[in-house]
Amino acid sequence: MEIIILILIAYVLGSIPSALWVGKLFYNTDVRQHGSGNLGATNTFRVLGKTAGMVVTILDILKGTAAVLLLLLPSFSSAGIHPLLLGVCAVIGHMFPIFAKFKGGKAVATSGGVLLGYNWPIFIIVLLAFLIALKVTKMVSLSSMIVAVVGFMYCVGYYFWTGDFYLMIVVGLMGVFIFYRHRANISRIKAGTEPKVNWL
């Protein structure tokens, strides 16, 4: 029963539509009706600006982190579930949020939050990789997919060093999610029509 409750809590945490709520509460704007229509940080940056974009990014990261750290609560400390599996539930919640008709974001920030809660040095590594890729490509989507590959490759090496099989599998799974959610972006990248950022 504890495991079911934890899975539901993690999913609900991931389902919190940060971009939607920040847009409506503070900007009287539904970001789903502007830009790409996506409920994620990138579209928030595009539609509402840097401040809102940063707030949504941080909130989306913390959703993944909070899910992983649920096992630190005394009520759940003895539950027999790996924290990374709760992180996956939060990522699924972010992509298919119950509070936004199951149409959510692309899982990048929340996946990063899962790493932050589980192994913060790896989060720093993938964050730096993302910023470098973004500086070079100027495309958030392409940078996100590059980091998904870099993160998985790093975790494969990390597995041979530490034996952390769950981390390797979960990071690989989150990478699959990221690529799947960026299908339209891949088409635009191939066509040369993918939007680029001008603030980095």
**From CA 151, how far away is CA 4, in angstroms rounded?**
29
Confidence of residue 199 (pLDDT cuts 50, 70, 90): low
Question: Which of 100, 28, 22, 92 is CA-nearest to residue 63?
Answer: 92
Q: Which residue stretches of 49-139 are H helix?
A: 50-68, 83-95, 108-118, 120-137
Instruction: Quick: pLDDT tens for 185-198.
Output: 999 999 999 988 87
| Token pair for 198 | 């001008």
Length of the chain: 200
CA dihedral 18, 184, 10, 118 (to 10 degrees): -100
Instruction: Please say if the pLDDT value at position 55 is more than 90.
Output: yes
pLDDT tens-digit series, residues 3-45: 999 999 999 999 999 999 999 999 999 999 998 888 889 899 9
Task: Annotate 129-169 with DSSP letters as a single string.
Answer: HHHHHHHHH--HHHHHHHHHHHHHHHHHHHHHHH--HHHHH
Residue type, 30: D
pLDDT of residue 90: 98
How much is the pLDDT for 19?
Answer: 95
> Rounded to 5 degrees, what angle do the CA atoms 138, 50, 143 make?
25
Give tens-digit pLDDT for 103-121. Answer: 999 999 999 999 999 999 9
* Mean residue pLDDT across the chain: 94
pTM of the predicted model, to two decimals?
Answer: 0.94
pLDDT of residue 112: 97
Helices then strands, each counted (H, E), the chain: 10, 0
CA atoms of 136 and 132, how far apart (whole Å)? 6
Nearby residues of 72 by Cβ (< 8 Å), 6 or more positions away: none
